[in-house]
Structure 1
Amino acid sequence: MTERSDQPETQRGYGSVKLLRVGPEGAERPAVLAEDGTLLDLSGVTRDIDPGFLATGLEDLRTAYEGGELSPIQNTKRVGAPVARPGKVVCIGLNYRDHAAETKDELPAEPIIFMKAVNTVVGPTDDVLIPRGSQKTDYEVELAVVLKGRARYLDSPGEARDLIAGYAISNDVSEREYQLERGGTWDKGKSCETFNPLGPHLVTADEIADPQDLGLRLWVNGELRQDGSTKDMIFGVDHLIWYLSQFMVLEPGDIINTGTPAGVAMGRPGTPYLRRGDVVEIEIDGLGRQHQRLV
């Protein structure tokens, strides 16, 4: 598989609104990637793609975009995470049947919940740092759901869809020794710095007809390791939002990582874990592509 460029890609056939943030770390600029590949400046609509904008500004975005009010801007080599300052990152474990099978775990009766530190979220082509002393740094391609509304004690999964701002690619990087062999909860194997590359785009929810019918793929150094579909989730997106709302209040800008299909290093005997210099490449249908180098 060939090396990917740092430029965000247009995935034709999945609509025309893709939000992203471009520029140096800490100085990203909000933008829209138009269907023809033009990068349009969102600075006149919002200072950033943050929880406040996701809660109240998406209609202003669409009005400005469809009205031709946004000016082109020159692309930059760096694309940041498409969501700035998320309130929390909630993750779901063992949510694909084939992944549960490869790890020799029973299918969960209810979603398995854990958290990642919010400062794990980095850009889709930023380097991933291997923690000091790590021997088992692993990869996980996941569909990320970003909220635009508050979810608190939802009555049914049917209420969830209207609360979704959009979808993105997430790499739920994990250190398996820290996660599973050092006692306590999973969080310490999930919250190392740079352990959640996100993006390149946040594709608005109305542009994805069915989040339960998306292919997910991940390569390490050009070798296909994961090749699954969101059809195989045990608990679908709407169910997860409803379920989580019974235990915590979800807010605009919160990110939900919805689980990974089979093919992680932990589940493939003899497969090496990630090492310095490895390149991980990820794509999800309609959501673009990301890649990271391990350093």
Structure 2
Amino acid sequence: MKNLNYTSEPDFFILMGLTDSREIQRVLALLFLLIYLVTVLGNAGMMLIICLDTQLHTPMYFFLTHLSFLDLSYSTVITPKTLENLLTSTKIISCTGCFTQMYIFVLLAAAECFLLASMAYDRYVAICNPLHYPVVMSTRLCSVLITGCYMIGTMDSTVNMLCMSTLHFCRPKVIHHFFCDTTPILALSCNDKRNIEIIMFIFADSTLMVSLTTISVSYVSILSTILKINSTSGKHKAFSTCASHLLGVTVFYGALIFTYLRPSKSYSLGKDQVASVFYTIVIPMLNPLIYSLRNKEVKNAVGRVIKKRDSSR
């Protein structure tokens, strides 16, 4: 490492990963592989069921299809390279590969934040204004909301990449993380990063705060409406329609806020990596389980698809 010319721009980075122990690396590789297989099967299966069953062609499941797509996509951006690094002694990732991974990840993560906000608004309309739900949540509005999610994600990711492209690296090209995230890459730069960090923090903070505020306002209104329902069964039915989404939001935003919005003095590489594993690898596996195991409509749809397949033989 001492012979490396740190003043030159790197053509590769070294991902240090989660641990130096070969035994632990093998255990993590097996665990992450199993999680990734469940993630692929769960999210791909969710998209397939929603596509095949016409009774699920509603706004809520339209958004859920895109949620499964986003989870599957950004898990695929992170997990295969992580598995490669765990199973081989080569920890190198090209500069192009590193920044591509970061660009796609930021795009998908930002898009998911606003997708979850769109899903919260959908639940708000369904519970607080049910008579006008088919009119308000029209196909056109759903398409606009989805397009907006991807456009905002692309904008955030592009700004992030433009900021990162101005960095100059004069330190060892070692990233103390298991994937190319913005914080560990910024730590390698030797030029003044204050303005870049401010711009990136504003965009990241705005993404989290705007989407989280939308979700919070929606659920305050939903809770207020549910409390006004007289019957216990009515309250339970109303709450069950948004329980899965609320659980998914809590898990996703909890990990993001812990990683990106806590005070810098409390930063810990180990805690940061654990949180990153959770929202990049584990949560994409949990979402299809949360939305299927707690949802009778999805379970019934699976049964209808299986019966239809059997009857067609």
The bucket for the TM-score relative to the shorter chain is: under 0.3
The structure, 1 or 2, with the larger RCO (C-alpha pairs under 8 Å, 6+ apart) is: 2
Q: Compare the two structures and name the one with the higher strand fraction.
A: 1
Which one has the bigger helix percentage? 2
Q: Which has the larger radius of gyration?
A: 2
